[in-house]
Structures are given as structure tokens and as C-alpha cells.
Amino acid sequence: MDNIYFAQTKLIDFVDELYEINGIRNYFFDEVHKYPNWDQELKNIYDSYPSVNIVFSGSSSMDLIKGTYDLSRRGTLFKLGGMSFREYLEFRRGTAIRSFSFNDILTNPESVIEEISGIERLKGHFLEYLDSGYYPFLFEDEENYHQKIMNIIDKTIYEDISNYYKLKTEKLINFRKILSYLATIPPGQLNRNSISKHIGLDNKTVENYLNILNETGLVCLIKENKSGSGLLKGTEKIYLDNTNIYKAIIQEIGFEYRKGSVREIFFIKMLQNSGEKVLYSKVGDFQVKGYNFEIGGKNKQKKQIKGSLQNSYLVKDDILYSTGNEIPLYLFGFLY
């Protein structure tokens, strides 16, 4: 929809001509937010042509969310996550691999491992995925992949956030500062107060900026497992959205690579993108559907989840096989 053709042709006229002359009923519009009043015209098309089906997409989540307010009774908005480890392997190897349910991985990981045992160099592929396998444009230009991620971050901040929230340029640099700070501090030590002191902003502004970064898909906020009035306190862990954003940022600022952060980010993203709700818990690192998960390397012990082993699992990196309540981290990459 950012094609110059649509600077001179109305969307509704485009659909009308193809509908009446060619009988076309299915339409796919990309970068729809680049077209002025796109939501109003889609609404008019929907009402005027009941048999027409429309799929629209765009790269600015805020514009799409705002635009769909008028389309609330007429359409459904889906957020498309990045590639899972399974999808990455499919592209990389050129062969189909099926996904497994959350229950499959918890109750019968040995069977899952046996089914994917034919994949050669699995550990090597997994390390490559954590570094640079989340976005499909990897396969277009592997050499400049991380630089392109930084370009996307800048576009999101200086175009999407700037335009939507009408923020002045001098304030936008704070979003970059927050992202860089998140990359240098372990998630367990992060909170709004520490970010506020480091960036030089008040807590309310930091909270607002974090919510914006979360809405645009640059950071991920994980709520604590609370109920009732505890939900209103907003306690949470703060992460960069995915492992590739993490790698791109630390590579740019020249900071050390933290395996612990990468492991937790991967676990969260695979669960969330498969439709599961992830909470953080004081019994282990995270809780999903009432199960507790402690994330770590192959030498990780059960100290933190001791006393609740029945519904608790150690999720370990650097292992290929499952024993007892220990599950290899990479298996969660096959959830979708």
C-alpha cells in the first residue's frame, strides 16, 4: 500500500473494479498503515461487498491496533511472531518438521526427541538460531542480518513511535538508551527504579516508555503470578523481545554475551508465540499453566524448585536428552 499507484487510486475504487470486472473476491494488502484512512475504506469495502474477504498486514503495530478500533466488529487482528526453532530448521534444511504440543514436551519428551533424532548437527543449528534465526529475512542477507535488526529498531523508534505518540526527537534517544541498558543487566536485577536512575528519567516516564516498547515488540514484560489486589501492583520482569534483538544490541555496544539472559528470552518467546501465558514465579523462574520452570545450563541444580518437584521442571541448555524432570531447552523451539 506504499506503492505510488495508490497515491492516485483509491483503495475502494481498486476493489470495485476488480470485483465487478474480474469477479475477484479475495484481497491481500501489505503495509496497509501507509495508506491514508485505510481503516475507513476497509470498513466501507466490507459493508459494500459482503462476499469480499480481506487480509491486511503492516509493520507498525500501533497504527494497526488503532485502526482496527473501527473494524472491531468486522475483523480480527493477529500478531505474527518470529520463526520458531522448528521453522528455522525447515527453512535451513528444506524438509518439513511437525510441531509438538506443550503437553507432549512435558509428559513425553523422550518421544519428541526420538522423532527429531534424524536432524544432524542439532546443537549447532540451535546455537545459530539463538544468534540469528528469528526473522525470515536472515535468508535474504545473512552477512548484514544484525545491522538490519538495528535498522528496524531505529525505524520503530524514530518513525512508528515518533509519529504515533508525537514525541520530539530529543526524547526518542531515551528508547535506545533503555534497550541498551536492558541488554547489559541480568533480568532478575532489572526494575523501573534502576532504569530510571540509569537513564535519568522519572519512574512514570520509564513505565510509559516500557509499555510503548512492549507494544511495539521490542521488549517483553513478564508479570508475576499474583491474584486479586496483587495484580494491580504491576510487578514484572523486563526482557528484550527476542534473542536476535539481544545479540544485535550487545554486538553494537560491545557488551559481553550472557547465556542466562538468552536462555530465558528463548523460553519466554517460544511459549508466548505458541499461545501460552508465561508468568514469573518465586518457585523457579517461570510458571506456565501451573507448572514451574527453572532455566539454566547443564549443571543447573534443583535448589530453587526444591519442595515442589511434582509440578516443576529443570529446563537445561547444553543437553540433548531428557532425564527425570529435566527437559532440553531446544525442545521448546518445536511448539509452533
pLDDT in tens, 108-162: 999 999 999 999 999 999 999 999 999 999 999 999 999 999 999 999 999 999 9
Identity of the residue numbered 169: T
Report whether pLDDT(304) > 80: no
List, for residues 93-102, the tens digit of each pLDDT value.
999 999 999 9
CB contact at 8 A, 32 and 68: no
Q: What is the pLDDT of residue 235?
A: 61
What ranges do the domains of the chain cover? 4-67, 87-334
Measured in degrees and rounded to the nearest 5, phi and psi for residue 36 equal -60, 135
Contacts of 291 (CB under 8 A, 6+ apart): 106, 311, 312, 313
CA distances, 254 to each of 106, 199, 321 (Å): 38, 19, 34
Domain 87-334 fold: Arc Repressor Mutant, subunit A (1.10.10)
C-alpha grid cell for residue 273?
508465540
Q: Is residue 186 pLDDT above 50, yes or no?
A: yes
Distance CA 286, CA 290 (A): 10
Question: What's the chain's average pLDDT?
Answer: 91
pLDDT at 306 over 60: no
**In this structure, which amino acid lies at residue 204?**
K
* Whether the predicted pLDDT of 69 surpasses 80: no
**pLDDT for the residue numbered 287:** 95
Quick one: pLDDT band at residue 230, thresholds 50, 70, 90?
A: low
Q: Which pLDDT band, with edges at 50, 70 and 90, does 228 fall under?
A: very low
CA gap 21, 243 in Å, rounded:
48
pTM of the model: 0.90
Residue 36, C-alpha cell as written in the block: 491514508
Residue pair 288/271 in contact (Cβ under 8 Å)? The answer is yes
Least confident window among 1-10, 21-30, 55-64, 246-255: 55-64
